[in-house]
Amino acid sequence: MLNKSLDKVLRTTKIHLGRLELLGVKTVKDFLLYFPRTYNDTREFTKIAEIRTDEVCTIKGQLTSLFNIRTKTGKKITRGVLTDETGTIGVVWFNQPHLTRMLPRKSEIILSGKIKFAFGKITLQSPSYELIKKEEEQIHSGRIVPVYHETEGINSKWIREKLKPLIDYWIDLFEEYIPEDILKEHNLIDFKTAIRCVHFPDDPELLEKSKKRLAFDELFLLQLKVLQKRWYWQNINKKDSKNIEIKKEVLKDCIDNLPFTLTNAQNKTLKEILKDLGKPFPMSRLLQGDVGSGKTIVAALATLNVVKNGYQVAIMAPTEILAKQHYQGFIKTLKAYSLNIQFIAGSTSAKQKDEIIRQMKTGTVDIMIGTHALIQERIGFRNLGLAIIDEQHRFGVKQREILKSYDSPHLLAMTATPIPRTLAITVYGDQDLSLIDELPKGRQKIITRLVPEKKRIEAYRWIEDQVKKGRQAFIICPLINESDVLEVKSVLKEYAYLSEHIFPDLKVGLLHGKLKQEEKDRIMEEFNDNKLNILVSTSVVEVGIDIPNASIVLIEGTERFGLAQLHQFRGRVGRGEHQSYCFLFTGSLSEEGRIRMKSMEKYTCGFKLAEIDLEIRGPGEIYGIRQSGIPDLKMASLTDLETIEKARKSAQKIIDKDPKLENYPVLAEKITEYEEVYVQD
Ligand code: ADP
Ligand code: MG
């Protein structure tokens, strides 16, 4: 019933209905769930004796006179006098001559508007009005008044007028769907009251309670969904679970032969992963660690362990450069074990691909490393034991799901984008977390400076100096859209300028997304071998690239990048033993930009920056929330840790009892609204 189309219940024009639809409102339910954007508290009437100019005020009084006049230029003006027990004030409206017919005289009326001082007089200008009818609830003034997102032809007043009777009539059809004990535990009001009062609150306290309740609902459903998903992943796939033992000797041997000792955090996370692999259901774990914290080696050791159990491992990275780097890195780290390690990406020829796919299917490939080419249709594995996704936030949910669908392997996702705890338990709530919270010893703090334009040349000389000491530098230019020819041109220009005029004696390379793969490989190799001193690049170097000898990164157009991304760029240096530097240049700086750049200078910890980013920009852009399919939350905030934790605890309780929600049909139905998001099973 609540899904009744509005054209059946609203007396209004087709045009208005169309406009409502633009606001996403088609049914009665949509309308009732179209929550206010904010509120005006007009509970206190202003006495006329106390008004001040330029203030918005709401006055209750009587219109003691009201008439239309026409100015010399033909404008229609309505003038009146409003009187209350403390005094009188002139009122004026423009171009609304019908008001003289609509507004009563000598009976109470409420006018709300701005007080202006003009032509030597204080007047109330173009106020909105509300007539006082006995027995009827006031909805536009004299209370906490809801203000909605508006669109052309649909303003808040219109919405209030149409919505109020609908709420009164339909509200009882809303069912409470959150179990009583949960409501009690968190001191939440009932659903109906919350809906009614979020629109037309009786008092501020009830308004707060309504918002709190509705915010809880959103987070609770979200948690229910991720926890159910987690339950399915662990239980439905139980029967296919790969039992993987810990091969202590092999691991010890490999670790002993590394050129470094593992950090405690690396050891700890490796243990967590190995333990999961032995469990009777597939792992779903997110390995989080700041840039440079050494996630790759942890993944490589887990890989070795799985391969030694006779299973295949797939590793997927978001860019070909990064996938190639992993390929080379794995070959080096694991060379003692004569494994068949293969690489596949967009640039792999069809013939090679066929051969690799054949080997994957017959099981002769032990480790398959590549880009999303790994999840093309024709690809299959003989016995995939572990799937690793590097920089997981760069992939869509779909891509992750496809990789998982090859025979339900254990899943290890990695990300260098630090995820605040709030998001870790919502957006990534179906995964267990491992955190590498320590950098390898001897890493120095990267010195970061926002450089004013007039010091540009000095910065270049600094780079030259460093290069003479044997170091290397990245210069990163913004390129928002890889297909944008103009922007590629701008990098080409910058490259030409730098190589000819600024660093004529140095070897400068250029890297951008439009280059052929072989070309990219060649350049990365040259840079890696220190045959290039400086690499001018677009954001293709953003993730993962590991060149320990590089010690300077200069970033142009920083206003175009988010903090998380800047932090990623910066993470390209400071990976070896050399003191490293990050120079930030900016075209223009808004107030927000200034805060962001100051944060870059001040904090080297990705988590702190991620939190700041989250506050400034919201989670959508940073974490690809939209592509991860989290629905737009209307009331809840993804930064509200307290409510998120409460919601998670309650949701967990239900899933523990009844994972399929068989006894909670309404809840089960509610979370199907999230279904398009999580294509599972
Ligand atoms: P990320 O976590 O950003 O993926 P990487 O795995 O690329 O980081 O590691 C960064 C660099 O640190 C690599 O050169 C790697 O060899 C090195 N590294 C990893 N672990 C250690 C360690 N325990 N001690 C010293 N260097 C390490
Ligand atoms: Mg990495």
260 Cβ inside 6 Å of ligand 1: yes
DSSP string, 488-501: HHHHHHHHHHIIII
> What per-residue confidence (pLDDT) applies to 610?
81
Angle at 173 between CA 172 and CA 177, to 5 degrees: 100
Contacts with 182 (C-beta within 8 Å, 6 or more apart), sequence order: 188, 220, 650, 653
CATH class of 44-142: mainly beta
Between the CA of 258 and the centroid of ligand 2 the distance, in Å, is: 17
| pTM of the predicted model as reported, rounded to 2 decimal places | 0.73
291 Cβ inside 6 Å of ligand 1: yes
Asked whether the domain spanning 447-603 has the same topology as the one spanning 44-142, the reply is no
Task: Please tell me the distance from the alpha carbon of residue 31 to that of residue 10, in angstroms, as a whole number.
Answer: 11
Domain residue limits, the chain: 44-142, 213-236+633-678, 244-278+294-415, 447-603
Q: Which atom of ligand 1 is nearest to the CA of 548?
A: 14
Closest residue by Cα to atom 19, ligand 1, is 294
296 Cβ inside 6 Å of ligand 1: yes
Q: Which atom of ligand 1 is nearest to the CA of 436?
A: 2
Q: Which two tokens stand for residue 30?
A: 């949509």
Over its C-alpha atoms, the chain yields an Rg (Å, rounded) of 32
Q: Which atom of ligand 1 is nearest to the CA of 296?
A: 6
Q: Quick check: 277 and 244 in contact, CB under 8 A?
A: yes
Number of neighbouring beta carbons within 10 Å of residue 590: 10
Closest residue by Cα to atom 17, ligand 1, is 294
Alpha carbon 19 to chain centroid, angstroms: 28
Task: Please tell me the distance from the alpha carbon of residue 268 to that of residue 270, in angstroms, as a whole number.
Answer: 5
Closest residue by Cα to atom 26, ligand 1, is 440
Write out pLDDT tens, residues 408-451. Answer: 889 999 988 777 777 778 877 888 889 998 888 877 889 999 99
Between the CA of 68 and the centroid of ligand 2 the distance, in Å, is: 74
Between the CA of 294 and the centroid of ligand 1 the distance, in Å, is: 3
> What per-residue confidence (pLDDT) applies to 678?
35
Between the CA of 74 and the centroid of ligand 2 the distance, in Å, is: 72
Q: Quick check: 179 and 188 in contact, CB under 8 A?
A: no
* Half-sphere exposure in the Cβ direction for 354 (13 Å, CA): 2
User: For residues 165, 168, 174 and 176, what is the CA-based torsion angle, rounded to 10 degrees?
Assistant: 150
Q: List strands edge to edge, sheet with 581-584.
A: 447-450, 581-584, 550-555, 472-476, 534-537, 508-511
Identify which ligand lies nearest to the alpha carbon of 315.
Answer: 2
Q: Quick check: 296 and 349 in contact, CB under 8 A?
A: no
Between the CA of 442 and the centroid of ligand 1 the distance, in Å, is: 12
Going by C-alpha positions, the residue among 562, 629, 633 that lies closest to residue 600 is 562
In this structure, CATH architecture of domain 244-278+294-415: 3-Layer(aba) Sandwich (3.40)
With both helix axes pointing from N to C terminus, report the angle between 606-617 and 591-602 in degrees, rounded to the nearest 10.
Answer: 170
Between the CA of 563 and the centroid of ligand 2 the distance, in Å, is: 18
295 Cβ inside 6 Å of ligand 1: yes
262 Cβ inside 6 Å of ligand 1: yes
Q: Quick check: 345 and 373 in contact, CB under 8 A?
A: yes
Sign of CA dihedral 416, 421, 423, 424: positive
> What per-residue confidence (pLDDT) applies to 489?
61
Going by C-alpha positions, the residue among 426, 32, 319, 16 that lies closest to residue 200 is 32
> What per-residue confidence (pLDDT) applies to 630?
63
Task: Please tell me the distance from the alpha carbon of residue 635 to that of residue 646, in angstroms, as a whole number.
Answer: 16
Q: Which two tokens stand for residue 650?
A: 């309650």
For domain 447-603, give the fold.
Rossmann fold (3.40.50)
Between the CA of 390 and the centroid of ligand 2 the distance, in Å, is: 7
Task: Please tell me the distance from the alpha carbon of residue 237 to that of residue 401, in angstroms, as a whole number.
Answer: 14
Closest residue by Cα to atom 12, ligand 1, is 294
* Half-sphere exposure in the Cβ direction for 347 (13 Å, CA): 14
Going by C-alpha positions, the residue among 185, 178, 176, 181 that lies closest to residue 219 is 178
- Under-70 pLDDT residues of the chain: 134-136, 237-241, 397, 479-489, 541-544, 619-631, 674-681
546 Cβ inside 6 Å of ligand 1: yes
Pocket test for ligand 1, best of 290, 325, 546 (most atoms within 8 A of CB): 546
3-state secondary structure of 407: coil
Q: Which atom of ligand 1 is nearest to the CA of 262?
A: 23
Q: Which residues surround ligand 2, an ion (CB under 5 A)?
A: 544
